Structure 1
Amino acid sequence: MRHKRDRRGRGLGQRGFTLVEVMVVIAILAILAAIAIPVYSQYIKDAKIGRAENSLVLLSTLMERYYQNNNAYPASQTLVANAIPGWNPGNNPNPLFTYAIQNPDPGVCNVAAPTGPSYSLSATPTATSGLPTNEVFYLDSLNDRCEVLPNGTIVAGW
């Protein structure tokens, strides 16, 4: 007795996918993943950097408030939560960035250090951030912003 077959060569009543159909679906999924994963990774990197930049702007505002109350900027230090009233970088116990104050401003973003009271704030990625740990973001008391790349190049603005 011969079993009837459909046009694909499968017996009637049998259901499933051929190997070629499965391989086509896998190939399509691989192409989509090859496109989506790098885009998503860049999105995550940009979000982390944006968070550091926003934290530097907030910290700059708090520095100016500190100056108004104390007639001086805080001394050079690596910042921890509440080192400056109102400052809490979050992400504890695994911070994405290490924040620091340099007082006076050494002129990282400028050609020369400014005269008078000044400061420079920095955000350096930690190992847990997944970013290069020698790429540093700066914001100074003159609102100059720059980024020092791992190769030492200074890029104005961010």
Structure 2
Amino acid sequence: MRMSSKHDRVRGFTLVELMIVVAVVAILAAIAYPSYTRYVLRSYRAQAKADLAEYAGLAERFHTANNTYLGFALPNNASPREATSPRYTLVLSGQGASTFTLTATPTPVQAADSCGALSINQANVKTASGDTVANCW
């Protein structure tokens, strides 16, 4: 049987080693978090664009059946539809016999997105109030 001695070495990590690991994790988090938030903003923008395209298609079907856009109403005014906290508010404007404009305006939660409000009209002309159309659509 071995007797323990005061000189037996205890295994483990030193404070310096732990602080180095904490610093590395902090640097990785500082790099990854902004990238993640940009990805989240982009994904909600993609959902808003899909909703605008879907509702523009519904407006075209309504126009085909009624020969006017007057009377067409949005089935939902929030994007994404299932969210408890919508990222965009959808509005139908400029509605006439042969014209309409659908606009997705970001809510305060989505305000950091550089594209701003996204719009599409009956001629499938797409606009963005912030960044260029090429970057946003």
Deviations 1:96-121 (A, max 9, x none): 2111112348xxxxxxxxxx711111
**2:99: which partner in 1?**
118
CA contact (8 A) 1:122 1:139 kept: yes
Matched, 1:29 2:6: no
Deviations 1:6-25 (A, max 9, x none): xxxxx42x232111110111
TM-score normalised over the length of structure 2: 0.79
3-state SS in 2 of match to 1:72? coil
CA contact (8 A) 2:62 2:72 kept: no
CA contact (8 A) 1:52 1:123 kept: yes
Q: Larger % of helix: which?
A: 2
Q: Which amino acid aligns with 2:125?
A: D
Runs of 5+ in structure 1 lacking a partner?
Answer: 5-10, 106-115
CA contact (8 A) 2:91 2:103 kept: yes
**1:155: which partner in 2?**
132
Of the three residues 107, 117, 123, the one matched with 1:136 is 117
Worse overlay, 45-54 or 129-138: 129-138
3-state SS in 1 of match to 2:28? helix
Question: 1:75, CA displacement in angstroms?
Answer: 5.2
3-state SS in 2 of match to 1:94? coil
Task: State the aligned residue count.
Answer: 129
CA contact (8 A) 1:103 1:119 kept: yes
**1:96: which partner in 2?**
87
Runs of 5+ in structure 2 lacking a partner?
Answer: none
Question: 1:156, CA displacement in angstroms?
Answer: 3.4
3-state SS in 2 of match to 1:34? helix
3-state SS in 1 of match to 2:132? strand
Q: Which amino acid aligns with 1:101?
A: L
Matched, 1:45 2:41: yes
CA RMSD of aligned residues (A): 2.9
1: CA distance between counterparts of 2:93 and 2:69? 10
2: CA distance between counterparts of 1:80 and 1:65? 14
CA contact (8 A) 1:66 1:74 kept: no
